[in-house]
Structure formats: structure tokens, C-alpha cells
Amino acid sequence: MEELPKRRGRLAKAAQEPKVEEAPEKEPPKVRGKRKAVAAPETLVEKPEKKAATKKTKDTEHAVSTEQSIGAQENGSSEEVVEKKAPVKKSGRGAKKATNGDLEAVVEEPKAKGKKTAPSKDSKAKVEENAVVAKEEPAAPATKRGAASKSNSTKQSVPEAEEPVTVSKPVAKGRGKAKDKTDKQEVNDDLPVQKPDEVEPTKPTARGRKKVAAVADAPADIPTVTQRKRTKAPVDEKDEEADTAPPKEKKTKVTAAAAAPKMNKCATDYGSLNFALDDGNKQWNYKISSWNVAGLRGWVGKGGLEFIDHEQPDILCVQETKCTEDQLPEEARQIKGYHPYWLCKPGGYAGVAIYSKKMPIHVVYGLGDEEQDADGRLLTAEYEKFYLVCVYVPNAGKKLVTLPKRLRWNEKFHQYLRELDAKKPVILCGDMNVAHEEIDLANPKTNRRNAGFTQEERDGMSELLSHGFVDTFRRLYPEQKSAYTFWTYMGGARAKNVGWRLDYFITSERLADKVTDNVIRSQVYGSDHCPCNVPYLSCQMDYPRPCGCKGRRTCLHCEAEFGIERSDFYTTFQNSESFVYCPRCDKIYPGWDWEKILSEHADTPAHGGVRGEDYPGVYIDLDFLSEAEEARLLHDLDELPWDVSQSGRRKQNFGPKTNFKKARLRSAQFAGFPRVSEFVQRRFEQVPLLATFQTIEQCSLEYAPERGASIDPHIDDCWIWGERIVTVNLLSDSVLTMSPYSGSADGKPRYNLHFLEQYREHLLGELMDEKAIAACGNRIVRIPMPRRSLLVLYGPPRYQWEHAVLREDIKDRRVCLAYREFTPMYLQGGSEYRHSEDIFQRAKQFWDHQPATVES
């Protein structure tokens, strides 16, 4: 091997030790970069073990432990060598050779500033390998200039190394030759980036040393500043000395920054949030939530679904999903208890979704305009009492480049909402991308020509509200400031609450009073928007209540509790052309009071000589049961359990389970009828009209005036129930009010009337033509149901007239027994008889009931 340059100073003696045999050659690791690294020296000077032990003098100790330590420690294996690089205190020109135990290190000595010395061949050839091997102890902090490091004292052992350790001075960032005037050796710029705990305390420039010290104490997940980073400005001697101390303040600063909550990301503390209404007096049991999630996949990854677990909305509307259905995260595809509906066009950056506990009647995807539907911005779900519209309105863009498109959207969108509102009330929610008034954003003066607060966009919102729609938040909180739903990620806007109110719940005017609150969940993170919620009063009947009421079918208790204004059929019918059916002459006569009409039949001439009109399809037996039979029947029925039902009624239902929407029939729980009512069905055989009647369902219905019991106008389902509807009236007199049915207001089929065409030829009575029905448009017919009487409806009253029991006609407790038969499709020989054969057998059975007894 080549001889090292002659050494000067205190280490000269140590450098003159006799050479020993060469160590076996070992190929150095490859280093990435444009210039290839030159192989390490082929030989290594070894010293006898005993002699090395005697040579641990103060001079050699000082050579190893100077202002930056040089050493190596064993880490589990004799072949794993830890390389610690540190500049050695100058003691002369050229390179120094430090000896510590069995290790001989070749150290390049930085030249004195300003002096140019031709480097040796070795120094030109040597490029530091910069391979970092895991170590047990972190690098010692830099010490003050001239002070000896304590990390490599005489007490610290240095294990054997198989290769020489070359320590070089860090160089300025760049490729090729080093820029430092004091060292012209070639360097490799593509060195691997070191982790914070692997940064070696080499001697950088003053500014570089400061950065390395800070990185060395940083947490492992904080990006590091490598030694190759170019220094920008020198620092004075005072700063340089201060930088040699352990950087405690910088460590604290970096750690604090890493631990700071990511306010616009996902730092929601759900445990500290109250998801109940602030005012316990506000009544509701239906909640709709809306949230612009700024990317559904990212939102799910941030734990966004946890919001659903805590908020428990009945409907969740999501905007700006930014993913098509095939890109949806698996967790978002099926959320337990919700029906999902998505809309996002391929390549679209918008996208909306609805998650609903209750399946909508119908869902419409888009606005119906090719230009505006290109991104997928609107979903409409139709429910029984309202339309729900989930929307993500286009932004006007930077420098308002898309403002014209936004204004075209407004025109189409407003027209669409007005058309929906003409059919039924509308609930609109989502990101409207406009702050309507100055109170709706933090800095109105500086944003007047920015997207979201231009006069054109604000005027568009004002126009929408002028068409009979209401901003529910401003109706409830007209003066509340600093109520925002959006904050930019820049400048800590959310922490400072410098935001915009861009997300709205807007309803039709006739629904606005039913919205009990509008809650902005500003402490829920996961997006640059926060969720909003509307507890809605008018929809509280979409699920059965403890009293049994549901939907529009309410009782006095529900109406008093929630302030519901029920449809006034009584007043509507009184203003119609009313007739009363006389069961004694099977004619109808003008009038409203059925008791008066019946009493006039006994006059001479009957009904004062007025000629009545035919009203076919009604049969009444005024004395179907005796008083004793009525008492016994009611006594036995009251021993059976009663279930709550809608509109203040109670019921006892005996028959197969039916699903009218899906046209499904199940017989598993049907075991026949109670024996206490068997004699009633046997008596049907004595009525010629019911000679072929086979009871499939028996339903006991109780009407109580204190609950406001009633039944709204309707037609019994035509898919499963046959033509004859039989009723036995008990306990008190009542009346059935009939009104002609000419189709639903929205044009959609109801009552499964389309099945009628499959068995029309089997009907007992001929139906009225459309012209005759139209002529009865403002007419009602009241059919008396005296106590203990039998009523049968068939023909036109069964299929072309809706029947109702008005609350005003219930004076005392009334119980009616309703009996139904199958349609011809389910009779023997019919197309569906295979589904009903077993039910027919069950319907011929009667079971005894014995009251339960408690044994002590």
C-alpha cells in the first residue's frame, strides 16, 4: 500500500509504528451518483494487540476524542461496523492516523484556511461510503470548539473493524468536485438520506451545524435536512458557539409542531361533543344531515364514518365525493341500516350521495340538463311527504372563469325546484357555494369579487328564496354571527374561525315551521367543510310511534305533542255535494245527516216524495247480530290482546302476512281464526251475496273518540284482497263516507289498481265509465253503519270510490270486524293458487283461547 503523508505534532510517534501484514481485501458497497466511488485502500495496518494496549496515551486518546468524536461500536456482530464521522482537531498538514485498540482509522485532515495543498492520491480516491449501520447509542451532541468529547473517553471500548474508516468534511450541495476551497476531493451527490437518529455530528459550516443538530433531536417522523443542503448565509461567532450546545429549544419546537392537532383534517374529539339538541323542549324524531366531505375516500380514511355512529341521522347527504361507484371504499358501500344512492360521472370532480334509513319512493339522478349533469351534482329522493334534494352547486372558479356556467346552472336549477315544489314540499341541502349575506362570511369587504360572494351569486340565492323557499338557519338565527361551515386550509383559518357559510338547508315555505333547529357541527373535522343537521318535525311520523301512528295518519295525542295540523276532511266533504245512502230503499238522497235521511224513509211518502238515485255496489243488513251476540262477541274479543294501530285505532289482525309494495305473501304465522268469531263467518253463508265468500283475513278495529280515532280516505289493496269487503259494526252507530277516486295528484298508480285488469271479467258489479266518474267529481256519499249491522261493498264503491271514517262521526267506542277474501288470481284455478293453497287450508281452522293464569 502507499505510504501515508508524514504526520506532524503529537501523533507523529504513533504514526511511525511498524507495519504488519495486509488485511484481506473487501469490496466496498456501491454508492449511487454520477461519479463512481473509488475503492477503499487495499491494505490495513494492524498493530499487535499487546502493543496497542500499551499505546493508549493521552495523545492517542485526544486524537480519537476531539471536538467531534470518532469511534465505532459493535452491534451484535463482529462484521457490522458502526461508522461515526467527525472532524478531528487540526495538528498539522495532511492526514492523521488515530489508533484506539485494534482499530486504525485513516482520517483526512482539513487544511488550514487559505492554504492550498495538493491532496494525496488516497484522498483523491477516497469517497466516503456513507453507509449507515444501526447503532445502539445516538451520536453525541457537538461540543464547544477545543473541548474534548466525553463520548469517547478512555473508558469506552472500540471494537475491531475490518475496513478503514474514512471521515470527510461535508461539502456544499452539488455534483462533481466539492466547492470547499480547503478540500478539492471529489464527492458523490446521490448519497442516501439519513434518518434523524443516524445523522453524524460532522463538522459542517456554522449554519449547517445548526441544522444538523436540530434534525438529530427531531422525532423520527419529521423530514430531515441532509448534510448536502447548501448553506445560505454565514453566522457570526456568537451564534456559532451557541449552536454547539444541545438544541433543546429546537427539539421542543419540532415536537410541538408535530403534536399540534390538524384542525382541518381529522382531530374530532367525539367524546367531548353533545349530539343532543341544546334545547330539550324542541320536539323531533327525524334528522337529516349534510356534509361536503371533499373526497369520500379520504373522508373514510380519516374516520368520517364515525360521525354517522354518533349523529345517527335518518338521512345523510354527502357532497364532493370525487369518486365513481367502482372507486368507492368498501366501508362506504354498505353502511349498516342505510340504503345508499351515489352519483358521480367518470372523471368528475364533484359527486353526491344519499344514505337513507328509509327506502325512498323514487330517486332521480341529475338535473336533466346535459351541460349541468356532466359532473354529477344533484340527487333527488322522493319520500311520502317531501322531496329531498342533495346538491353540490358549481363554483364560480378562480378569477370567476366559470361564473357564466354557474349562472346558467342557477336558471335550470331554480326551475327544477319550482316544479318539484308544485307537487309536494322540498327539502334542499348541500354546498350552495355562496355566502348569501355579509353576516355569512368573516371578511365580506375583501371578497366582493371572489367566487362565492359576487353580487351575481348572491342575487341568485335571493331569487331562489323569493320563489317560496326559506333558509332555515337564518329563519331560526337571523342575527347569529361567526356561524360558518367552510374554512380554507391556509393560514390556520379554522382555528381562527375565518370562514364562510356555504352549506344550507333550504325548505319550502310550508315546511319551514316544522324545522325545529339547524345545527352546525363546527367541532367535527375530516374536511374543509363541517356537517350540518336539521332535526325535522314534520317527518316525525315516518316511523311508528308508541301510539301506533305513522306518516300522515295521526291521533289527537300526536297532533297535540308535535303541533301537527291534520288534514280537515270533514270540512272538505261538507263543502261538497253530499248524499246519504238509504239501506231501506237502496237509493241515495241529498243531504249530510244520515240519521235524518233514515227517519224520512218512514214518512209518507218516503223521503218526502223525493226520487233517489241508484248507487249500486252496497249491501246492508241492519239486524245481522242480536244484542246478546254482540255482548258475548265483544267480551271474548277483549280477552284477546289488542295492538296499537294508526290514527288512534287499535286492532286485532288474523290472517297471512302481506307486503303490498313488493306483492309478497307469507303464511308462516297464520294459524286460522279465534273460535269466538266462528259463528259470524258461518252466518255469512246465509247471505246470498256472500255464499261463495271465503274469509282470508279478519281484522278487529277499535275506534275511540278520546284518541281521535279515524281512517283516512283510501281503497283497500287490489293485488291480494278480492272484490267484496265485509264489515260488521259493533257497540255504536257510525257512517262510512265515500268520495270518487280519479287517480293520484302526481299521476302515479295507487292501491295496486293495475291488478284489476287481470280479473275484471270476474267482478260481480259493472264498473262506471270514466265519464260517469268524472261527473261525480264534487260528490260524496255517506253510508250509514248502524250498530250490529252488516255492510258489504263491491263493484264501483269497492274500486272507484275511496272510503273513510271521519273523526267527527265517532261519538262512542266503536268496534268493527272487517273480513277480506282473495282476488281471483289466488283462487283455485288462478295463476297464483300455488301460493295460496296452504293459506286456504289454514283459513278453515279455528282455535280456542283461554285467558292466562298466574300461579303463585
Binding residues for Mg(2+) are 292, 320, 431, 433, 528-529
Q: At what angle do helices 248-259 and 206-216 cross, to 10 degrees?
A: 50
Distance CA 443, CA 448 (A): 9
Angle at 498 between CA 493 and CA 501, to 5 degrees: 120
**From 392, 536, 759, 799, the catalytic residue:** 392
**CA 423, CA 465: separation in Å to the nearest integer?**
18
Q: Which residues in 125-279 belong to E strands, given as ranges?
A: 166-167
- What one-letter code names the amino acid at 769? D
- Find the catalytic residue in 243, 431, 440, 471: 431
- The answer to whether the beta carbons of residues 171 and 189 sit under 8 Å apart is no
CA distance 834 to 837: 6
At 479, which helix (H) or strand (E)? none
| Number of neighbours of residue 191 by Cβ within 10 angstroms | 19
**What one-character DSSP code corresponds to residue 126?**
B
Active site residue 809: no
Helix (H) or strand (E) holding 438: none
CB count, 10 Å around CB of 703? 26
**Measuring CA to CA, how many Å separate 106 from each of 36, 95, 153, 295, 646?**
21, 7, 20, 57, 95
Amino acid at 673: F
Active site residue 529: yes
197-235: b or e for each residue (b if 16 or more CB lie within 10 Å)? bbbbbbbbbbbbbbbbbbbbbbeeeeebbbbbbebeeee
Whole-number Å distance between alpha carbons of 384 and 662:
17
DSSP state string for 508-541: EHHHHTTB---EE-TT--SSSB--EEEEBSTTGG
> Of 281, 275, 278, whose CA–CA distance to 561 is shortest?
281
> How many other β-carbons are positioned within 10 Å of the β-carbon of residue 811?
11
Residue that the C-alpha cell 297535540 belongs to: 560
Annotated binding site: 292, 320, 431, 433, 528-529
Task: Name the DSSP class of 261.
Answer: -
347 three-class SS = coil
Cell of 491: 393560514
Is residue 392 part of the annotated active site? The answer reads yes
Strands 814-822 and 315-319: unpaired
Q: How far is CA 370 from CA 345, 352, 376, 380, 557, in A?
A: 12, 17, 10, 17, 49
User: What distance in Å separates the CA atoms of residue 486 and residue 392, rounded to the nearest whole number?
Assistant: 14
Q: SS3 breakdown of the chain: % helix, strand, coil, rounded to 5?
A: 25, 20, 55
Q: Which of 338, 341, 503, 529 is catalytic?
A: 529
d(CA 511, CA 540) in angstroms, rounded, equals 13
The residues annotated with a catalytic role in the active site are 392, 431, 529
